[in-house]
C-alpha cells in the first residue's frame, strides 16, 4: 500500500468557483438568458442589469446613463439598441399635448415570456364563485317595419 505524500499539492479543479451568500435586500435577479447571452456585448449585458436594478420612474436616457458610467453616449446608445433588438428594452416616443416629444422606456427581464403572455388565455372562474345564471337569448327576428341598410341603426343598438 502506498503512503500518502503530504508534500504533494492539492489538486484544484480549473475554472470558476463560486462563493455565494444570500442577499436579504438590495438585489436584482438576472436570468442566465441575459447574463450568458451570446449575441449581446458585455456593455449591453451590464447596462440591462443596471436598468433592471432601477426603480420604476428612474431616468434611463442616454445622457443620464453616460453621466453614471465611464462609457460615452455613443457606446451607451449602441448598447441600448442591442437590448431593443433582442427584446430586453422597448423605447416608445410620445408627443405631449404641449408638443414636446418624450421617450418612455420599458424594460423586459424575460423577453421570451413576452410572447407567451400574448398567447395566454383568460383565467377560468374560481370554483368558489357562483356560476352566472343563463340569460335568455335576445330575439333576433328581423322587424318587418325596421329600416335596414348602410347608415341605419337597429333598435337593439339604440
d(CA 75, CA 77): 5
The count of residues in the chain is 158
| Prediction pTM value | 0.63
Of residues 2 and 7, which shows the higher confidence score? 7
Q: Is the pLDDT of residue 60 over 80?
A: yes
| Cα three-residue angle 120-114-102, rounded to 5 degrees | 125
Q: What does the mean pLDDT of the chain come to?
A: 80
Domain at 30-116, CATH from 1.10.287.3510, 3.10.110.10, 1.10.10.10, 1.20.950.20 = 1.10.10.10
Q: Where are the domains of the chain?
A: 30-116
- Span 81-99, average pLDDT: 95
d(CA 152, CA 122): 35
Amino acid at each position: 500500500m502506498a503512503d500518502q505524500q503530504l508534500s504533494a499539492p492539492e489538486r484544484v479543479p480549473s475554472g470558476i468557483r463560486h462563493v455565494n451568500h444570500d442577499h436579504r435586500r438590495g438585489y436584482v435577479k438576472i436570468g442566465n438568458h441575459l447574463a450568458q447571452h451570446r449575441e449581446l456585448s458585455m456593455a449591453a449585458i451590464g447596462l440591462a442589469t443596471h436598468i433592471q436594478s432601477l426603480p420604476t420612474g428612474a431616468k434611463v436616457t442616454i445622457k443620464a446613463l453616460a453621466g453614471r458610467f465611464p462609457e460615452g453616449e455613443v457606446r451607451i446608445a449602441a448598447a441600448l439598441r442591442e437590448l431593443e433588438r433582442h427584446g430586453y428594452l422597448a423605447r416608445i416616443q410620445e408627443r405631449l399635448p404641449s408638443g414636446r416629444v418624450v421617450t418612455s422606456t420599458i424594460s423586459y427581464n424575460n423577453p421570451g415570456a413576452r410572447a407567451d403572455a400574448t398567447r395566454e388565455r383568460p383565467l377560468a372562474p374560481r370554483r368558489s364563485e357562483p356560476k352566472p345564471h343563463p340569460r335568455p337569448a335576445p330575439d333576433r327576428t328581423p322587424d318587418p317595419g325596421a329600416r335596414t341598410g348602410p347608415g341605419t341603426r337597429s333598435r337593439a343598438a339604440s
